[in-house]
Structure 1
């Protein structure tokens, strides 16, 4: 089982999860040509992708999904709430599958366990991916942790965890209006570095092989601040961790 990011941030998001001969793209927030180019950087072609799974309807996660799915005849999975906000773009899609955010399902060799999260979207979900033995937990675009989230992510072999902003940098950012700051930092917004570290501290991490910080804000965070917060919680050095970049995500990580 392995995974890689095509890019992560407010300008677009996509993650590839691979088990045996199955590859799933989680979110597709890049344009058609850009997605193809980013796949090539990871040694893949569009024909190597078997399905697109969407977390929620915001443009940086779903903006390129319809065109990519139509061109390459891919099924798209999403919650009913996400579909209700995305319906106009779903015309002529080869296949739309509605998922229940409390019900496990499989696509090829990959088992997906969705779970609901607090975010300012219609019915957002995040996911744990498994090959039956190993587990990859993904949590981005969430304003606050919940007991259910902590249960879902505990015991994973790898985690992609949102570290969107540093609270002080956000509050001192004079370019952001107060309303936007409140949205980002609210319970339906995005996790700050300390909130992500606190969440991490509540998880069982004895099996953890990989931890990647994701969805870092370009204007309100730095990799050093994000990784430093997580490293303090794990009791490791920051260089054991990685972060997902907007330009090229991160390279393949193998879960053994």
Structure 2
């Protein structure tokens, strides 16, 4: 078994459950500890049974529930040294850190995890290639653009979580965000727009890609319909029958089975 479920994804918090035959772990823990517990329980997983948490970076919407969870159980937290340092500098209590180096694969139960650097305004943000028994999941959340290394690492994946943070026109029309914030979001160390994410999926060399999960949508500057339409139309134009699903903030997604 290899399945993925987004527990919640958006500007208010992000977390994904990855479940195998003998283990389950989270990618990020940005929801509240209470919501993480409730949503995990709905998926048939207890917090105490988690094999660990993979952290992409230290921003609150990716690690906000971790401190309380760590008070309940001492599962390992996997991140790179600069992310761990940033968490500690921000007052995060001592955790059971399992430090990895970007570009170096490591084992987490039956899974092989390959972290790789992505451009974003954090200390040392990463994406992940997660694989077991020949099936591969790519995790791309919070990046300003896809580097050549991103495309190289994610060759041949079977499922992809990718952020579609904003619609370009909606962001420009938004009156609540100052111009400086809009510039940050659109910068090379900001976030992917719907169009940019669709371009990544289009250019990715993954002929057996079965599932694309869209995540991290801005509540104010995007909509599920816009994100799905943009990515799906790009895939259809290339004749690819990949399923497209837009993850929500408030409820877990269906389970996407890779094997």
Report the counterpart of residue 234 of structure 1 in structure 2.
235
TM-score by length of 2: 0.94
TM-score by length of 1: 0.95
Report the counterpart of residue 84 of structure 1 in structure 2.
85
Report the counterpart of residue 32 of structure 2 in structure 1.
31
CA distance in 1 between counterparts of 2:93 and 2:217 reads 33
Q: Confirm or deny that 1:13 pairs with 2:11.
A: no
Q: How does 1:116-155 map to 2 (within 5 A)?
A: 116-155=117-156
Q: How does 1:25-174 map to 2 (within 5 A)?
A: 25-88=26-89, 89-93=91-95, 95-174=96-175
Report the counterpart of residue 3 of structure 1 in structure 2.
4
242, 254, 258: which one pairs with 1:255?
Answer: 258
Residues 187-234 of structure 1 show CA distances to partners (whole Å, capped at 9, x for unaligned) of 101000111111111112321111111111111111111111111221
Per-residue deviation, 1:70:
3.1
Report the counterpart of residue 190 of structure 1 in structure 2.
191
Aligned length: 255
**Structure 1 residues 134 and 238, CA, compared in 2 at 3 Å: closer, same or farther?**
closer
CA distance in 1 between counterparts of 2:173 and 2:94 reads 46
Runs of 4+ in 1 over 4 A off after TM superposition: 236-239
Structure 2: stretches of 5+ with no match in the other structure: none
> CA-atom RMSD, angstroms?
1.6
Kept in 1: contact 2:209–2:242 (CA 8 A): no
CA distance in 2 between counterparts of 1:36 and 1:67 reads 11
Kept in 2: contact 1:42–1:251 (CA 8 A): no
Residues 2-51 of structure 1 show CA distances to partners (whole Å, capped at 9, x for unaligned) of 01011001111110111211111111112221211111222221122110
Kept in 2: contact 1:112–1:129 (CA 8 A): yes
CA distance in 2 between counterparts of 1:255 and 1:42 reads 17
Per-residue deviation, 1:239:
9.8
CA distance in 1 between counterparts of 2:77 and 2:134 reads 25
Per-residue deviation, 1:61:
0.3
CA distance in 2 between counterparts of 1:251 and 1:47 reads 22
Per-residue deviation, 1:92:
4.2
Report the counterpart of residue 224 of structure 2 in structure 1.
223
CA distance in 2 between counterparts of 1:205 and 1:189 reads 25
CA distance in 1 between counterparts of 2:114 and 2:124 reads 15
Structure 1: stretches of 5+ with no match in the other structure: none
CA distance in 1 between counterparts of 2:243 and 2:93 reads 44
Q: Secondary structure at the match of 1:241?
A: strand
